[in-house]
Amino acid sequence: MSTLKTPRNTSPAARCENIYEYDASLTGAGLTIGIVMSRFSQDIGEGLLSACTSELKRLGVAEGSITLATVPGALESPLALQAMAQSGRFDALIALGAVIRGETYHFEIVANDASRGLMEVQLDSGVPIANGILTCEDDDQALARMQQKGSDCAQVAVEMANLLRALGERS
């Protein structure tokens, strides 16, 4: 099913008249999604995972089309995601985990390098990656954000997989 849309020409208030625009599609049927979850801060990772997989299923991704790999911490996520992206088996990937601020500079190193690694894998492979690695001041902040972030990541992965398919169809 294509998510392509005909050119817009509806009113002067339209974003762009006579410009081709892709529809955002949250239809997960037929997509294969890979998830990498950090085991550091396990309770938060499990909460992210539960919300993420529930939303993926709600969007129509078949349970058998979701694959999970766990890694020790956020810094190991990019390497596992890279292997998944290179396998050619996934339409989109999701990184889940939490980096909680401590008393040292280590928080910044882990948060920045994990994020940079995810972006590099995504751009090098062409496989979209939804970043669900929370960076929080404390456990309470992470617990408060995990349900929404897990769900958001599922939506991002599905939407980006569909957009990339549609971009390929139009080429």
Q: Which of 39, 58, 89, 106 is catalytic?
A: 106
Catalytic residue status for 141: no
Q: How many residues does the chain have?
A: 171
Q: 63-87 burial, b if ≥16 CB within 10 A, otherwise e?
A: eebbeeebbebbbbbbebbbebbee
The residue written with tokens 């995601």 in the block is: 81
**57 CB neighbour count, 10 Å cutoff:** 15
DSSP state, residue 13: T
Average pLDDT over residues 157-166: 98
pTM: 0.90
Q: How far apart are CA 171 and CA 116, in angstroms?
A: 29
pLDDT at position 12: 40
The residue written with tokens 């956020």 in the block is: 74
Q: Report the mean per-residue pLDDT for the chain.
A: 92
